[in-house]
């Protein structure tokens, strides 16, 4: 079964995520991709050939959905470009997602430098 990668970016990091997805399009195409709603929309607009399953927007439960998918073994790797300089109403959801990625010990990149490494070291 194709392994699944989750892609998420906070608003200030969405340009970065769109660029990242564009540059790694051929590798990402080998994964099943899930994303929070707005991030997924940006990725699809930049990379129309990628098949992206869009969940709810982060503040409306998208982080929690991805956390649940980690808990059920449906998400194998998380790339989350976080904005460390803006406070978020759904900060508790973000923390819960990171906690579950840690509990289930899946590869998790929270910035681009680490995401770049995961793209070269982890295959679906």
Residues at the site binding ligand 13P, with contacts judged by CB under 6 A? 8, 10, 36-39, 57-59, 62-63, 90, 94
Q: How far is the CB of 84 from ligand 13P (least distance, A)?
A: 12
Listed in sequence order, the residues at least 6 apart from 98 whose beta carbon sits closer than 8 Å to its beta carbon are 80, 108, 110
DSSP type of residue 104: T
Residue 36 assigned ligand-binding role:
yes
Residue 37 assigned ligand-binding role:
yes
Q: How far is the CB of 55 from ligand 13P (least distance, A)?
A: 8
Q: How far is the CB of 91 from ligand 13P (least distance, A)?
A: 8
**Angle CA 106–11–5, to nearest 5:** 25
Residue 120 assigned ligand-binding role:
no
- Output 27 or 82, the one with its CB closest to ligand 13P: 82
Catalytic status, residue 76: no
Identify the three-state secondary structure at position 29.
Answer: coil
Binding site: residue ranges? 10, 14, 36-39, 57-58, 90
Active-site residue list: 63
Binding site for substrate: residue ranges? 10, 14, 36-39, 57-58, 90
């Amino acid at each position: 079964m194709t392994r699944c990668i989750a892609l998420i970016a906070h608003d200030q990091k969405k340009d970065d995520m769109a660029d990242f997805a564009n540059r790694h399009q051929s590798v990402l195409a080998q994964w099943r991709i899930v994303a929070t709603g707005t991030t997924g929309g940006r990725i699809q607009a930049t990379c129309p050939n990628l098949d992206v399953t869009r969940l709810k927007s982060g503040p409306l439960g998208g982080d929690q959905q991805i956390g649940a998918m980690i808990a059920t073994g449906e998400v194998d790797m998380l790339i989350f470009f976080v904005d460390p300089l803006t406070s978020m109403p759904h900060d508790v959801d973000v923390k819960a997602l990171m906690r579950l990625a840690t509990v289930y010990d899946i590869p998790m990149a929270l910035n681009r430098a680490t995401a770049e490494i995961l793209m070269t070291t982890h295959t679906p």
